[in-house]
Amino acid sequence: MCAQKTLDMEKIKITSLQSLNSLEMGREDVHVVCTYGKIAVLFRRKVPDYVIAQVIIGISKVDPSAVNEFEIICDFDDITEYESKGYTLVSYGKTTGGYRVNYSISFSSKKALFHLSKYILQELMLGDVRKDIYWNGNDSDIHRLYMELSNNIENWELKAINYKEGAVN
């Protein structure tokens, strides 16, 4: 069980003595939850395109080894088209309707991030979009990500911090 705090920005300081379970941050149109293994991002339908780019670029600055994985069903000929966008082919197999293809998008590839942003914009036409980004972030990285996003995105705020049980507060 985790201790959760509602945050007052004037009082919050994340120190190396506090072991985080998760940190929630964002604004009305973007919600981000960071843990050690994953950054879960929810883009709401009305989020401006430049905010999508700022979130993606912010993550890439803090951890260029972060990746987003996704699966699509497409024609065989389309597999190389996605690779030309900077996506890394992980696996594929024949299925009903074409090929089930798994790709990895590295946050070290500006080309792949550009196309990821475009893809998110297309998905937003249908509704809110959730993206899970996998990384090896620790307390320091989570704090750095919060600072990166809050310094570059207007109205960015800390929503909640969940500390690991037994952590020094």
**pLDDT at residue 5 is higher than 50:** no
**100-104: average pLDDT:** 97
- Full domain range(s) for residue 150: 23-155
Q: Is residue 11 part of a domain?
A: no
Torsion of CA 33, 34, 37, 42, to 10 degrees: 30
User: What local confidence, expressed as pLDDT, does residue 13 receive?
Assistant: 52
Q: Is residue 115 part of a domain?
A: yes
**130-155: average pLDDT:** 95
Q: Is residue 15 part of a domain?
A: no
Number of compact structural domains in the chain: 1
User: What local confidence, expressed as pLDDT, does residue 19 receive?
Assistant: 82
Q: Is residue 18 part of a domain?
A: no
Q: Is residue 76 part of a domain?
A: yes
List all residues 6 or more positions away from 11 whose beta carbon is below 8 Å from its beta carbon: none
Q: Is residue 1 part of a domain?
A: no
Quick: pLDDT tens for 34-48. Answer: 999 999 999 999 999
- Are 39 and 135 in contact, with CB atoms under 8 Å apart? yes
